[in-house]
């Protein structure tokens, strides 16, 4: 008798609304900016999908709809639906929930995995619509427990621009160059936090999609600081540079 071989993928549980991140457990967390309702408005009496009413910190970011993309091709991405920073101090920051033992243990149990995840990954669409200054506080990334996305010393792993290059930095240390900054261009950025290596790796427009990330192909990396989980995720604009944040996927991988 011929024995069949079966590939059994990790069982994944997706939290599909940003407003549900603090309310639900999963392996994958999604944030979809959408024009037509003010997800990223400052806290108010509103409920439902407004992020600031569900554990996030938010300023009145500009909800911008997607437009002018070709159908089903990467050749012309057009404008990706996004939250835009247009004022100094604009920011969006999730609840601090990723990367500590309890949250990773829950993800492992949901996925029916005996071991904890090896990686925490942020994969997001970003555009530095203005990038003429050296501003390590303007960008996107993971923030340490109880910290602020507006504070450089609180960065666990953060992608920004020095006016010439995209960089990855942490804890106000010396940033590492990733690649030349292309102003006002949409990229798929990826930040990988690796347990075994205790480092954060940066990718821009990578070709891999699923499974363990090829960290040897990363464009640069920085060391992770101990005793700083759980992490939040967010983005921030300082004085000159203006990052935009599109579709975002935070997830664990084995």
Banded model confidence at residue 5, pLDDT cuts 50, 70, 90: very low
CA–CA dist 126, 91 (Å, integer): 14
CA distance linking residue 92 with residue 119, whole number of Å: 23
Show the tokens assigned to 250.
Answer: 């935070």
pLDDT digits (tens, 9 = 90+) for 103-114: 999 999 999 999
Which residues have C-beta within 8 Å of that of residue 127, sequence separation ≥ 6? 80, 82, 184, 185, 186, 187, 243, 244, 246
- Provide, rounded to the nearest whole percent, the portion of the chain with pLDDT above 70: 95
3-state secondary structure of 19: helix
**What is the domain partition of the chain in residue ranges?**
14-30+83-253
Residue 1 has pLDDT above 70, yes or no: no
| pLDDT for residue 250 | 98
- Predicted confidence (pLDDT) at residue 174 exceeds the cutoff of 70: yes
Q: What are phi and psi of 109, to 5 degrees?
A: -65, -40
Q: Averaged over 50-74, what is the pLDDT?
A: 89
- In sequence order, which residues have a C-beta less than 8 Å from that of residue 98 and are 6 or more positions away? 120, 142, 229, 230, 231, 232, 233, 250
Q: pLDDT of 185-224, one tens digit each?
A: 999 999 999 999 999 999 999 999 999 999 999 999 999 9
Residue 82 reports pLDDT greater than 70: yes
For residue 4, pLDDT beyond 80 = no
Give me the helices (H) in 19-124, please: 101-110
Q: What is the mean pLDDT of residues 33-57?
A: 81
- C-alpha 214/C-alpha 58 separation (Å) is 33
The reported pLDDT for the residue numbered 63 is 87
What is the average pLDDT across 214-241? 96
**Per-residue pLDDT, 46:** 61
Give the mean pLDDT of 15-26. 96
Domain 14-30+83-253: which CATH class? mainly beta
For residue 128, the SS3 value is strand
Residue 67 confidence (pLDDT) above 60? yes
Confidence of residue 6 (pLDDT cuts 50, 70, 90): very low
Residue 175: exposure state from Cβ atoms within 10 A (0-12, 13-18, ≥19): buried
């Amino acid at each position: 008798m011929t024995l069949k071989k079966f590939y059994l993928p990790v069982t994944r549980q997706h939290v599909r609304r940003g407003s549900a991140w603090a309310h639900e457990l999963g392996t994958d967390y999604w944030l979809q900016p959408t024009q037509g309702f003010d997800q990223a408005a400052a806290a108010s009496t509103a409920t439902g999908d407004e992020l600031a009413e569900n554990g996030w910190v938010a300023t009145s970011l500009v909800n911008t709809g997607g437009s002018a993309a070709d159908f089903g091709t990467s050749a012309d991405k057009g404008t990706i639906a996004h939250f835009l920073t247009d004022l100094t101090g604009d920011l969006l920051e999730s609840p601090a929930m990723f990367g500590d033992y309890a949250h990773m243990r829950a993800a492992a149990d949901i996925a029916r995995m005996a071991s904890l995840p090896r990686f925490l990954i942020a994969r997001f669409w970003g555009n530095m619509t203005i990038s003429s200054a050296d501003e390590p506080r303007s960008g996107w990334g993971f923030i340490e427990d109880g910290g602020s996305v507006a504070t450089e010393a609180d960065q666990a792993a953060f992608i920004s621009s020095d006016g010439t290059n995209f960089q990855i930095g942490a804890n106000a240390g010396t940033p590492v160059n990733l690649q030349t900054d292309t102003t006002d261009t949409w990229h798929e950025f990826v930040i990988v936090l690796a347990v075994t290596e205790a480092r954060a790796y940066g990718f821009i427009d990578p070709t891999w999609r699923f499974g363990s990330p090829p960290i040897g192909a990363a464009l640069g990396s920085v060391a992770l600081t101990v005793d700083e989980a759980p992490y939040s995720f967010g983005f921030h604009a300082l004085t000159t540079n203006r990052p935009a944040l599109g579709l975002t996927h935070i997830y664990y991988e084995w």
